[in-house]
Structure 1
């Protein structure tokens, strides 16, 4: 069980990026043009006299901004502080509707020996259903995608954003409308520029699933025999999954239907429970060699342990791995860190104490 109540008023995220400098990342965040290269579609910054800043001009504290995303939604705010090559802070919307109290986001930029990383702290969120869902979960999912998109662009020259469609990263249809958010289950979906048969294969053998999700995967038959590296898994197989972050998980394959469904247990509902959390992955043909997959995670405990361990943590984890699966298919780039400490920080920093 959780040793203490989770703090829903802030989160942190971290991304390590190769082949760059702190100055390059900083300028991608503090110029109007730079921000559109990895985050939003359009920006407009005005100085304290109302002058619109040029696209390559560095923004200043006191500037106001309006950002427009690819899906057409907008956010307005104010630049609070800038420290060259070190940090940027800005407001990011009211923490509750119709208040004058604002969520604050701070970017910090770091370099130590051969490592360069970029942290995001989102703070002053309301500990209410609105704050938890709209800011903690939804924004966290957004930052998961956009930080990895920056990494993809810098390391592999590939932009993962989707243009001309009403979405920009992993969709979480169970989260909307926000006031009806379901804490004991969730659904998320992602779209791929390939067939559902190709995506299905990435889930159903040790060789395939380690290419985007796991460090090591062992599948055992009903006779307790280890399946070969390339052998297709079957219903009632047991699994042992090891992640690059150091996490290890065991469970059972509950059902599998070729190119359509993959269902498995995903940990105990609570530490001493006999019940399991269950994940169902379904694969859908969208035509023109495109497909959609949907992940449903159910039987989550209706308490703080369930909310944090299996709703929050898992929805962020699936967002990360589905983004990586898209990256593997579309650009051939695996965004995961192979180092255990770096991967743990990149995935889980937002809930580390």
Structure 2
């Protein structure tokens, strides 16, 4: 068994869906904005913005925007096989890898965020913040795909609450 550390974490969840739908949910702008983001822009290596239905590909860049947060996340697609795996740069300094494995009527989704710096600020904001965030967002994805409901907050504007990202469980 591997040990826990501040330089990475892994989150897993079984979702009753098919592999194609789950990959679409992560790897297209239309998919990822259906359950996770307020806006997603993907740009191909030739500098052209991809359509909402186009799958991401190795070398693409992205800009993600959330509900209830004025900032954005920029990164690159490191790998994307078009079926069950992709990897991106994330939080400026680390990477996130998502793998999906069919298991009967379910898909086991595994998210690993790694190369997290281990200074105190990164331990709090990246390890603690992202680990908590991904836990919620994976549960939100499951609720959306299995039951058609979203759990994230869209009725109340939480952006003026200084610790909203650390206190609200559905941000």
* Superposition map of 1:163-202 within 5 A: 180-202=3-25
TM-aligned CA deviation for residue 349 of structure 1: 3.7
State the partner residue of 2:84.
260
CA distance in 2, matches of 1:335, 1:260: 25
CA distance in 2, matches of 1:339, 1:242: 17
Greater relative contact order (CA < 8 Å, ≥ 6 in sequence): 2
TM-aligned CA deviation for residue 259 of structure 1: 2.1
State the partner residue of 1:308.
124
SS of equivalent to 1:211: helix
**1:215 counterpart = 2:42:** no
* Superposition map of 1:115-194 within 5 A: 180-194=3-17
**1:225 counterpart = 2:42:** no
Partner of residue 249 from structure 1, selected from 73, 79, 82? 73
Gap runs ≥5 in structure 1? 1-172, 175-179, 269-275
1:75-107: CA deviations, max 9, x gaps?
Answer: xxxxxxxxxxxxxxxxxxxxxxxxxxxxxxxxx
State the partner residue of 2:135.
319
SS of equivalent to 1:231: coil
CA distance in 1, matches of 2:96, 2:42: 17
* Superposition map of 1:44-55 within 5 A: none
> CA distance change for structure 1 residues 263 and 208 in 2, over 3 Å: closer, same or farther?
same
TM-aligned CA deviation for residue 218 of structure 1: 0.3
TM-aligned CA deviation for residue 305 of structure 1: 1.5
CA distance in 1, matches of 2:167, 2:28: 31
Partner of residue 109 from structure 2, selected from 293, 308, 319? 293
TM-score by length of 1: 0.44
SS of equivalent to 2:35: coil
Do the aligned partners of 1:244 and 1:339 also contact (CA within 8 Å) in 2? Answer: no
Partner of residue 341 from structure 1, selected from 143, 157, 160? 157
TM-aligned CA deviation for residue 342 of structure 1: 3.3
Runs of 4+ in structure 1 over 6 Å off: 343-347
1:187-240: CA deviations, max 9, x gaps?
Answer: 110111112222111011111100111100000011211111212221100001
TM-aligned CA deviation for residue 341 of structure 1: 2.6
Do the aligned partners of 1:184 and 1:311 also contact (CA within 8 Å) in 2? Answer: yes
> CA distance change for structure 1 residues 229 and 282 in 2, over 3 Å: closer, same or farther?
same
> CA distance change for structure 1 residues 339 and 226 in 2, over 3 Å: closer, same or farther?
farther
TM-aligned CA deviation for residue 339 of structure 1: 4.7
Gap runs ≥5 in structure 2? none
TM-aligned CA deviation for residue 350 of structure 1: 2.7
Do the aligned partners of 1:266 and 1:278 also contact (CA within 8 Å) in 2? Answer: yes
TM-score by length of 2: 0.89
